[in-house]
């Protein structure tokens, strides 16, 4: 089973960045796409460009997830919606910002899979793609955001066990820094965003979409469990040592 065998895909977080490029790539491959996001104007523009169907909704509304998605048949799920808030430091985040990130990055992601992939299991085919992050794999700071992506990594690994014997495939994409609107919400000032993405050549959303399409287009007997991709100039890992301040 490759991309030509799939008919309908759901892409969350489809109003910008990685989500938009996944919609474009899937439509180019002849897959019908439901593009889901909160920003109606962005979705309308994407629909005119690609011919995708749009679905405007807030994924933190759990009841709405099941109302709008559970009864529909999707062969592919690109679980992309998410946001970050503590890139300036965990202790600079407010309690509401922490809850917002957890609710969308973890709670909503898990509920979307539960609502959509149960049908894949019943039909005996389908592919779930989770857009994770290298922050879920390495200690890179941003404890709150990293915790949510670590949760998605664990969820993805265990979901493969849940799919055992069902013919449903599961892929986690773990990118490094991407030049995208994601960081508009992650930082409070444009200068901080520029500094975070300066001094090297970051990934672009098309790079992630290409990785997604690679995983989708492998033969059914091949499950691409995880793809880690970073800018050549970004190397995760290592050891950080700093003398403690005097008390």
Q: Is 145 a catalytic residue?
A: yes
The interaxial angle of helices 109-123 and 62-69, nearest 10 deg, is 30
C-alpha dihedral sign at 191, 196, 199, 203: negative
CA distance 117 to 14: 19
- E strands, 146-230, where? 168-175, 226-229
Rg (CA), the chain: 18
Task: Pick the catalytic residue from 6, 66, 125, 145.
Answer: 145
Q: Which two tokens stand for residue 122?
A: 């019943």
Q: Write down the H helix ranges in the chain.
A: 17-28, 40-50, 62-69, 95-102, 109-123, 143-162, 182-186, 190-196, 205-216
Contacts of 72 (CB under 8 A, 6+ apart): 10, 34, 116, 119
From residue 28, alpha-carbon distances to 9, 51, 64, 171, 213 in Å are 13, 10, 29, 21, 11
Catalytic residues: 145
């Amino acid at each position: 089973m490759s991309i030509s065998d799939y008919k309908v895909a759901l892409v969350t977080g489809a109003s910008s960045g990685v989500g938009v490029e996944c919609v474009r790539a899937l439509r180019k491959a002849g897959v019908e796409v439901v593009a889901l996001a909160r920003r109606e104007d962005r979705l309308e523009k994407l629909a005119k460009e690609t011919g995708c169907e749009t679905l405007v909704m807030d994924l933190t509304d759990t009841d709405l997830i099941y109302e709008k998605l559970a009864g529909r048949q999707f062969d592919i799920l690109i679980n992309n919606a998410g946001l970050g808030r503590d890139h300036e430091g965990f202790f600079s985040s407010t309690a509401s910002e922490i809850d917002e990130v957890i609710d969308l990055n973890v709670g909503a992601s898990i509920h979307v899979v539960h609502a959509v992939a149960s049908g894949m299991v019943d039909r005996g085919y389908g592919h779930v793609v989770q857009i994770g992050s290298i922050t879920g794999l390495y200690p890179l700071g941003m404890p709150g955001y990293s915790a949510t992506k670590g949760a998605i990594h664990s969820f993805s690994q265990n979901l493969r066990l849940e799919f055992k014997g069902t013919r449903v495939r599961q892929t986690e994409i773990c990118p490094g820094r991407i030049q995208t609107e994601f960081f508009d919400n992650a930082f409070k000032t444009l200068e901080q965003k520029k500094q975070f993405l300066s001094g090297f050549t970051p990934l672009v959303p098309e790079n992630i979409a290409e990785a997604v399409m690679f995983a989708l287009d492998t033969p059914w007997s091949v499950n691409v469990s995880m793809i880690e991709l970073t800018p050549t100039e970004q190397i995760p890992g290592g050891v950080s040592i700093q003398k403690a301040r005097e008390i």
